[in-house]
Amino acid sequence: MEKWKVGIIGCGGICKGAHLGEYLDDERVEVAAVCDIIEERAQYLKDNYFPNADVYTDYKELLKDESIRSVDICTPNYLHSIIAVAAFEAGKDVFTEKPDAVNVEEVMKMNEAAKKAGKTLMVMRNNRFNEASVVAKKMIEEGRLGEIYCGRCGWQRRRGIPGKGGWFTTKAMSGGGPLIDLGVHMIDLAIWLMGNPKPVAVTGTTYCKFANTDTSDSVNSDFGDKVEEGTYNVEDLAMGTIRFDNGAQLQIEFSWASNIKKENRFVELRGTKAGLTWTDAGPADSWLEVYGEEYGHTNDLVVHAKSEREHPKNLRNFYDVVIEGKEPCFKPEQGIDMIKILCAVYESAETGKEVRL
């Protein structure tokens, strides 16, 4: 069987830290090209992992290679949609890191290009592959929580601002701060567990209170490339509420920096039969607790999951889809809804009003 040839565009931290596992393990796939504007990063991947790969510093040149059938985009946020559109026009399937795009106009362009090309678009939603998430989804689909009518989700950091002064904290390149960086993860997990109801209205508030501090107590502050005296024009805390077409409501909170006890990542859902809390207890370590009459008055059902390799599992699903025609875990319209939600939170924060979707 001829291997499926892939081009990786963006060879920095998220690529090396989260995507490599799939390419080292999946015998169906061959990384035929690597690309980064910093040539040394692309060369590092070639020298250490993919000796037969071609090296590029311009993704447009990589896309000219007709043997490459799909691309994996691991660039700064604002480039996700731009590169995806170019890849679809070149006849490639596309997997990209989150967020899907930095605004609604760009996410629509990306999805329209995918449809026009008749190609697959998938965006990273790795928390769906967390072992505790899989158990929670099964329980919900079996009806053991009843009707899920409200919930909360968040990712709260004390001091964990990534790449301060660089593209992470520059709105034109990132699209925003922790809401668009962290919010995608937990909002998606919550909505996916809820059965993907349609969002209809959003309210939100944002704050920027820690732009002038360099204090850090999180490994997450080491992520990204810092720039001394660089730009910081995004929020470091966002809060809001999402209402859905079935009457359900979701409260959200995301921070890079906030005076809280400790870093916390969670989804809490309440149903008519039971409620659940999904909590991250540290790297590759999560807990699922379920409460309800079926389980007594204490949290009798507790699932502890060592959730490793979530990103490679998500990538594996993409190649299952494009190579073997299996069912995708992610549908592009879910990505459109996500970007509409994020942009509506920012709009509501500016206007002080609810935004209808």
pTM of the model: 0.95
Q: Burial code of 260-283, b = ≥16 C-beta within 10 A, e = fewer?
A: eeebbbbbbbbbeebbbbbebeee
Between CA 305 and CA 313 the distance in angstroms is 15
Contact 81, 109 (CB under 8 A): yes
Can you give the pLDDT at residue 299? 56
Can you give the pLDDT at residue 285? 77
Task: Tell me the pLDDT tens digit for each residue of 2-13.
Answer: 999 999 999 999
Q: Which residues of the chain have pLDDT under 70?
A: 281-284, 294-300, 307
Can you give the pLDDT at residue 145? 94
Range list for CATH 3.40.50.720 in the chain: 4-123+313-330
Task: Tell me the pLDDT tens digit for each residue of 119-148.
Answer: 999 999 999 999 999 999 999 999 999 999
Place of tokens 């099964």: 138
Residues 6+ positions from 345 with CB-CB distance below 8 Å:
179, 183, 202, 203, 204, 206, 238, 240, 252
Can you give the pLDDT at residue 162? 92
Can you give the pLDDT at residue 293? 73
Please tell me the CATH code under which domain 4-123+313-330 is placed. Answer: 3.40.50.720
Can you give the pLDDT at residue 259? 94
Range list for CATH 3.30.360.10 in the chain: 127-308
Q: Would you identify the CATH topology of the domain 127-308?
A: Dihydrodipicolinate Reductase; domain 2 (3.30.360)
Using omega within 30 degrees of 0 as the cis cutoff, is the peptide bond preceding 178 cis?
Answer: no
C-alpha atoms less than 13 angstroms from C-alpha of 41 in its C-beta half-sphere: 16
Contact 102, 174 (CB under 8 A): yes
